[in-house]
Amino acid sequence: MTIDASDDPTKQSVTRRQFLRTAGGLGFGALVLQTSRTFGLTAVTVNNPLEVYPGRNWEHIYRDLWTCDSSFVFLCAPNDTHNCLLRAYVKNGVVVRIGPTFGYGKATDVYGNEASARWDPRCCQKGLALTRRLYGDRRVRGPVIRRGFKEWVDKGMPRDPRTGRPPKEYFQRGTDTWASIGWDEAAEIVAKTWLDIAKTYSGKEGAERLRAQGYDGDMIEAMHESGAQALKFRGGMPLLGARVFAVARLSNSLALLDNFIRNTGPEKSLGARHWDSYSWHTDLPPGHPMVLGQQTSEFDLHAVENAGLVLVWGMNWISTKMPDGHWLTEARLKGTKTVVIACEYSSTSNKGDEVIVVRPGTTPALALGLAHVILKENLFDRQFLERYTDLPLLVRLDTRQLLHPSDLDAGYQPAKLSNYTHVMAAGEKPPPAGKQNAQYLPQALRDKWGDFTVYDTVKRQIVPLTRDMVGEHFDRTGITPALTGEFSVTLADGRQIRVQPVFDLVKKYVLDNFDPRTTSEITWAPVEAIVSLARQIAANAGQTLMALGMGPNQFFNNDLKDRAVFFLAALTRNIGQVGGNVGSYAGNYRTAMFNGYPQFVMEDPFDVELDPDKPAKVKTYGKYESAHYFNYGDRPLKSATRNFTGKTHMPTPTKSMWLSNSNSILGNAKWHYDVVNNTLPGIELIVLSDWWWTASCEYADIVFAADSWAEFKLPDMTASVTNPFLTVYPRTPLPRIFDTRGDAQIAALVCRKLAELTGDKRFGDMWRFIDEGRFEVYLQRVLNASTNTKGYRFDSLEAQAQEGIPAYMMSRTTPRTSSYEQIHGSIPFHTRSGRMEFYRDEPEFLASGENLPVHREPVDSTFYEPNVIVAAPNQMIAPEGPEACGIALDDYSTEMRQMRHVVKSWQEVARTQHPLAKDGYAFIFHTPKYRHGSHTTPVDLEFLAVWFGPFGDLHRHDKRSPYVTEGYLDINPLDAKDLGIEDGDYIWVDSDPSDRPYRQWKQGQAAYKVARLMCRARYYPGTPRGVTRMWHNMYGATPGSVKGHETRPDGLAKSPDTNYQAMFRYGSHQSGTRAWLKPTLMTDSLARKDVFGQSIGEGFLLDVHCPTGAPREAIIRITRAEPGGLNATGLWRGADLGYRPTYENAALGRFLRGEYLKARS
């Protein structure tokens, strides 16, 4: 008999045949089915579920769960360089899951080049978790305003008549509460406040007020009496899109505001100030422009396919370059030797054929130590050095400056330059970047730099060398320059002096100070590692990729690191080759990929182009400055007697800041609690535009609610420094989930209000195409004007993106390879000499004792005297010592340390110690980036957060835990035991008490309670003794989160007022960091290529030559706070049960020794 099967498990059935076939099977459950009719029911019997199972209709439920109504593509682009087009799956109007598009393998360019499917899939756990962020309870659901601020505005913005300061009571940021506000009203308040601030600080009266507030005189002077110059803007990493750059457009267009207040007209008006991103994040490797004359050298990561050897050097490739991690592991399986150099056994170390563990902050010494072996064993490529570097150039031993032909012959006329070079007559302007096919030098600079000299060993005389003479052009000169030797020469004035090639000077310094044993003592790298690696690099000349990461770059000696690494690379021809090059990997920054951006950013607000088919007229009114001065307390770097901040770098006082989609400059800023407690009180308006309530929002006055990537109604575009794709953010069909707007629309709205307030309609005209929903007009202008995108139509790029397909960025090569044109096309580097420069004779470098690429100890993260120059006595290394700069010789304070130039041999240095060592500050504290966050995005989503470290627990058994995960300090188990700290214990972490967590902190202050770092300790066997680590990617404690932690029944460190969710009970990883300013990064004299295009200038250049800070430097003291066990009793569970390092139970011990299975054969 047969009964129809149905979904109802109580009415299962099978056929009579099955019944008979299986009847009399095994004793167990002998019958498939027996139909007893009692109660009209049937009991289900299953015989062998490996073979047959009755009633599988229930399986529909998972098919139903899988099925979605529709899907669409959006671009996920936090500042991680990857730019993944993701497909969102929609059910019942809700984005239920996200996945890759598998469209990268379909990318092409106008020449028919094609990418392969090996680029797919592109996504990561953070992108997939965004489903939680679109609807999460930290979404900014509409514009909000801080109540106290609103009150100040409603009261007519009262100010102190003398200083202009607003009364404190309206500015209780962090503890104040919030109110919803309409878009128009919010925008109007911002416009009115700018007007008021600009008026207050314009003119001589304005300058007086600022003086009365105690600002540095040079900073006030830098405003040139324009109040608009006190308004600061930052849109996050500009390469991330035009909507981010809209903030720069806004800043430039505020020249109209200056004009309205001071009636200065199109010529004299000044716009606002725009802050840096790449250098602010300490992503900029500041030594790259010193050696190459351009921002940064890098290679698309898939170039590793072409390398024989790859050094993954202080870079956590597999954790921070996730979608490109496979290029490394696949190259390795195909035979590329992988050497991982890190200050721990890092996550990338387990992909290394060889692993070298080193002391943090000693990269310059390691590079010079490797160079030592290569020099000593004569393994370098002499010809490469002659053709492409300044190493043959002669240096005067008397002045330590380069020898110029004009020194020998007063009448010497610099040669006319012709190699890919155009010298501009006075007043001549270069063409737009996108039209430049040569390097543009102002005549004045060309004259100032002059030509250079080498000693020709054939002619046995000193001969001039011009900027043109590189590569093949040098070969044609027939010169065989001396690399070593000391020569005497008669100057034009008859004086006899000695000269020596740069090579010889560097060589002497290296040979004197960095033999393998000494290098090993300095860096902790074993001698055999140094020798073996140096030989391998030499054996792979032109085939070694050196991928340096953020690690070495976040130390104070980062420019010296770059200069030393390039020296090593130059010795071995590892520059400008597809499989042999140097790259620095941190952040996504090369806005010049779209070097037509001035079309959008710098459009002349006095003469707006409203014809969509015409290019914009470009004029710069705004100014740029590094946010590091703001971070430093809105101060320049000065000693009692000396200013170390170049004129071209000088910041202005900060009275207003607008941050768009960026948490890095406030919420997650280094020295965060000093910024909050000592700098913010001087700021009168803080505006944020974001789609998630970050720590920055906690301290804002007005927060605008922005669209998420998945809700974009205005398209946008971006590119990458690690992959070759131009990716478009397509418009999406997902209706806005909350009352949000596009970032550019928000800027436009505020400008419309300015138009109303000032009656100047040009404010509005600036945003015409955004108001019309035609953002693509601006984007197409940029594509048309950019070197590597001309030929693309935005509408077709967007159509492709909607299918999940990006386009190739049309660089000269794919993979994009820096210095390719210099090495393969014999064009000059963007330096004074046209060569890679290892010697710096500018006054700032000579004064710092950094004319040679020396090793300096870190400025704080060292067990020895901080910032000391390591060198045996050397007449070429003669900096201006502390006294010369008005600094006491024994003043090691953090403030003065930055300006101290003291030279000691390693033998001497080895006998010194860090000034706080005696007080128990014995641990280096570094804060690298983690795999489970892209900065702080999107770390506070439960399903992701639970993977953020070893303390993730969705059930939060321990009420003390601030969230479903929490911040922790990685510490060597043996160090922890010495301190009486168990794995998982809560600890206090204190850095230099003179200035951290903030200057003038006091016991008992509520602010101090919020700022002092408390976290769990995690036994981390891979970190060397004395070196501790804490991730950079966490949301820190705020007054609101502390209130939540202490008052909520569930103990979450979540603000009862804003829902802000901290991952710390108290403090944050930024409690230990501070701002640092390095003199050599603030010169007015360094020659470097402009951001956009090929023209070359000197001094400050945003994101190219400016301070970078040293956020990975701190020395800490660690004290036990609470036991890690549940309810503060006993051991944390993992340790208690014997599953943690050094707590192994007997079974885990056997497991580690591999004793559970033995194979005999």
Partner 1 sequence: MAKVYNWQLAREMSYWYPESRPQRQFAAIFDVNKCIACQTCTLACKTTWTSGRGQEYMFWNNVESKPYGFYPLGWDVHLLEMLGAQNWSDGRYEGLTIFESALAGERVLGFRPQEADYSYPNIGEDDASGVVERGGYFLPPHAVWMFYLARICNHCTYPACLAACPRGSIYKRPEDGIVLIDQSRCLGYQECVRACPYKKTYFNPHTGTSEKCIGCYPKIEKGLQPQCFENCIGKIRLQGWLSVPDKADANNPVDYLVHIRKIALPLYPQFGLEPNVYYVPPLHVPDGFLVQLFGPRGPAAVKEYLKAREDAKLAGLLGLFGSAPNTMAYFSVDAADATAYDASHKKVVSVPIIEPTHIRPDFDPARDVARQNTP
Partner 2 sequence: MRIKHYMLLTVASLFIHGGCGQDAAKLKLAGQALARRAAQAAEGVTPLDPAWDKMPFYTAAMQLQDVTQPTLTTPGVAGIDVRGLYDDRWLVLRLDWIDSTVDTTAAPARFSDAVAVEFPTQPGSNVPDANMGQTGGSVHIVQWKADRQQKMSRTAEGTKALYPYSAIDFYVEDVPPEGPAREQMAQQYSPAIGVGNPASMHTSPVQAFVAEGFGTLTAVNEPEVRGQGTWQAGRWYVTIGIKLPAATAMTPFQVGQRTFMALAVWDGSAGNVGSRKMRTTWIPFMMEAPVTKAGL
Residues that bind partner 2 (CB under 8 A): 7-10, 12, 28-31, 34, 36, 38-46, 58, 60-62, 64-65, 91-94, 96, 131-132, 135-137, 941-942, 954-959, 961, 963-964, 1050-1052
Using DSSP bridges, classify how beta strands 461-465 and 452-456 pair: parallel, antiparallel or unpaired: antiparallel
1016 binds partner 1 (CB under 8 A): no
Site for partner 1 in 410-449 (CB under 8 A): 433-437
CB of 592 to partner 1, least distance (A): 5
Binder of partner 1 out of 78, 285, 286, 973 (CB under 8 A): 973
Residue 94 binds which one of partner 2, partner 1, none, with CB within 5 to 8 A depending on kind? partner 2
Nearest residue (CB) to partner 2, 64 versus 267? 64
CA–CA gap between residue 744 and residue 766 (Å, rounded): 11
Half-sphere exposure in the Cβ direction for 23 (13 Å, CA): 9
Tokens of 168: 């404190």
CB of 1127 to partner 1, least distance (A): 13
CA 118 from chain centre, in angstroms, equals: 27
Q: Distance of CA 823 to CAs 292, 293, 575, 720, Å? A: 12, 15, 8, 23
CB of 359 to partner 1, least distance (A): 7
Residues 6 or more apart whose CB falls under 8 angstroms from that of 477 comprise 465, 469
DSSP 166: P
1093 binds partner 1 (CB under 8 A): yes
17 binds partner 1 (CB under 8 A): no
Residue 192 binds which one of partner 1, partner 2, none, with CB within 5 to 8 A depending on kind? none
Residue 813 binds which one of partner 1, partner 2, none, with CB within 5 to 8 A depending on kind? partner 1
Tokens of 915: 């000034």
DSSP code per residue over 819-880 = THHHHHH-PPPSSSSSSB-----SHHHHHHT-SS--EE--SSS-SSSTT-EE-SS-TT----
Binder of partner 1 out of 42, 349, 645, 679 (CB under 8 A): 349
Residue 43 binds which one of partner 1, partner 2, none, with CB within 5 to 8 A depending on kind? partner 2
Tokens of 650: 């000088």
- Which residue, among 822, 914, 39, has the nearest Cα to 420 in the 3D structure? 822
CB of 13 to partner 2, least distance (A): 12
CA–CA gap between residue 535 and residue 970 (Å, rounded): 34
| Segment interacting with partner 1 (CB under 8 A) among 207-215, 702-710, 1107-1115, 1150-1158 | 1150-1158
CA 13 from chain centre, in angstroms, equals: 64
| Segment interacting with partner 1 (CB under 8 A) among 101-109, 488-496, 702-710, 1038-1046 | 101-109
105 binds partner 1 (CB under 8 A): yes
Residues 6 or more apart whose CB falls under 8 angstroms from that of 552 comprise 313, 314, 361, 363, 558, 561
CB of 415 to partner 1, least distance (A): 24
Residue 48 binds which one of partner 1, partner 2, none, with CB within 5 to 8 A depending on kind? partner 1
Evaluate the omega torsion of the peptide bond into residue 997 and state whether it is cis, within 30 degrees of 0. yes
Nearest residue (CB) to partner 2, 656 versus 732? 732
Order of strands across the sheet that contains 394-396: 394-396, 496-501, 487-490
Residue 959 binds which one of partner 1, partner 2, none, with CB within 5 to 8 A depending on kind? partner 2
Residues touching partner 1, count (CB under 8 A): 168
Nearest residue (CB) to partner 2, 514 versus 948? 948
Binder of partner 1 out of 335, 478, 980, 1004 (CB under 8 A): 335
Dihedral sign, CA of 849, 850, 856, 861? positive
CB of 1115 to partner 1, least distance (A): 18
553 binds partner 1 (CB under 8 A): no
Report yes or no: 287 and 560 within 8 Å, Cβ to Cβ: yes
Nearest residue (CB) to partner 1, 309 versus 1082? 309
CA–CA gap between residue 60 and residue 121 (Å, rounded): 28
Residue 128 binds which one of partner 2, partner 1, none, with CB within 5 to 8 A depending on kind? partner 1
CA–CA gap between residue 882 and residue 896 (Å, rounded): 9
For residue 634, is it left (φ>0), alpha (ψ between -120 and 50) or beta?
Answer: left
CB of 118 to partner 1, least distance (A): 5
113 binds partner 1 (CB under 8 A): yes
- Residues 219-258, mask of contacts with partner 1 (x by CB under 8 A): ----------------------------------------
H helices within 409-496, ranges in order? 443-449, 472-477
Nearest residue (CB) to partner 1, 102 versus 487? 102
Residue 40 binds which one of partner 2, partner 1, none, with CB within 5 to 8 A depending on kind? partner 2
Nearest residue (CB) to partner 2, 8 versus 919? 8
CA–CA gap between residue 108 and residue 97 (Å, rounded): 28
| Segment interacting with partner 1 (CB under 8 A) among 446-454, 757-765, 812-820, 852-860 | 812-820
CA–CA gap between residue 958 and residue 119 (Å, rounded): 42
Site for partner 1 in 906-945 (CB under 8 A): 931-932, 942-944
CA–CA gap between residue 122 and residue 15 (Å, rounded): 49
H helices within 350-491, ranges in order? 363-376, 382-388, 405-408, 443-449, 472-477
Tokens of 318: 């597999």
CB of 172 to partner 1, least distance (A): 37
Site for partner 1 in 315-334 (CB under 8 A): 318-319, 322-323, 325-327, 329-330, 332-334
Site for partner 1 in 484-543 (CB under 8 A): 520, 523-526, 528-529
Residue 1052 binds which one of partner 2, partner 1, none, with CB within 5 to 8 A depending on kind? partner 2
CB of 820 to partner 1, least distance (A): 5
Nearest residue (CB) to partner 1, 335 versus 1049? 335
Site for partner 1 in 1110-1139 (CB under 8 A): 1133-1134, 1137, 1139
CB of 98 to partner 1, least distance (A): 7
CB of 1050 to partner 2, least distance (A): 5
CA–CA gap between residue 1009 and residue 446 (Å, rounded): 57
CB of 905 to partner 2, least distance (A): 56
Nearest residue (CB) to partner 2, 51 versus 64? 64
CA–CA gap between residue 445 and residue 842 (Å, rounded): 14
Tokens of 667: 């919420």
Residue 1089 binds which one of partner 2, partner 1, none, with CB within 5 to 8 A depending on kind? partner 1
CA–CA gap between residue 479 and residue 474 (Å, rounded): 8
Site for partner 1 in 776-795 (CB under 8 A): 786-788, 790-791
Site for partner 1 in 42-81 (CB under 8 A): 44-53, 55-56, 58-59, 61-63, 65-67
User: Residue 1084: how many CB atoms within 10 A of its CB?
Assistant: 17
CA–CA gap between residue 207 and residue 572 (Å, rounded): 55
888 binds partner 1 (CB under 8 A): no
Half-sphere exposure in the Cβ direction for 1132 (13 Å, CA): 26
Nearest residue (CB) to partner 2, 896 versus 1126? 1126
DSSP 678: I
Report yes or no: 216 and 629 within 8 Å, Cβ to Cβ: no
Residue 509 binds which one of partner 1, partner 2, none, with CB within 5 to 8 A depending on kind? none
Residues 6 or more apart whose CB falls under 8 angstroms from that of 643 comprise 218, 636, 637
CB of 529 to partner 1, least distance (A): 4
